[in-house]
Chain A
């Protein structure tokens, strides 16, 4: 069964450093998403991406964040200058169409020291 994959599974970084989280969505899906989950809290939407541009973003997704689909398979989330409060589990998801089921990857646990 096709699945969303994410790398790395864990990332430790120093405050102020840039990190790039990588995702490979399900191959025939057209919509891609990033969510985050701070430890013990609910899953929060960050951004959605369609047709090589951001289609929707939350107030959390400020200028420190960017997304890119650098090739036909990868989808990345970049955090330019990490803060302590960026420590969270970051999930990539994808769906065939808007409003359809979103399938989540296993997540990248980011720890900012």
Chain B
């Protein structure tokens, strides 16, 4: 119930391509869904976040799509760049809780 399932585990994309990472959850009490980007040896950095009252949020090249009925959300990275190469974590937090529940992460490699 508390899990967030993330796929794929790793992803290789050519420069300029679209990177898509998917997450699914069971707990309908989750009400905040952030995506974090992590470079090796660094802490997770917030990339973009969404609440379930909207179906899409876009910030620059990064878009979250949210499907409440399917309990799924995804991160799209448009025009992927080598500098986007990192591990991406989806996460969720339940209303009234302070505990971020993370997915297992996706290692993205963008080839030049």
Contact = CB atoms under 8 A, between A and B. Distances in A.
B46 to A, nearest CB: 6
A44 B103 CA distance: 10
Q: Decide if the interface of chain A is mainly helix, strand, loop or mixed.
A: strand
A104 B41 CA distance: 13
Contacts of B16: none
Interface residues of B, number: 25
Contacts of B34: 101-102
A58 B44 contact: no
Interface string A30-43: 01010100000111
A43, A95, A102, A106 interface centre (most CB from chain B within 10 Å): A43
Given A42-B102, A55-B98, 8 more contacts: A42-B89, A44-B102, A45-B99, A45-B100, A45-B101, A98-B97, A104-B45, A106-B42
Interface of A: 4, 31, 33, 35, 41-45, 48, 50, 55-56, 58, 91, 95, 98-99, 101-107
10 contacts: A41-B104, A42-B102, A43-B91, A58-B99, A91-B43, A98-B96, A98-B97, A99-B32, A101-B34, A104-B36
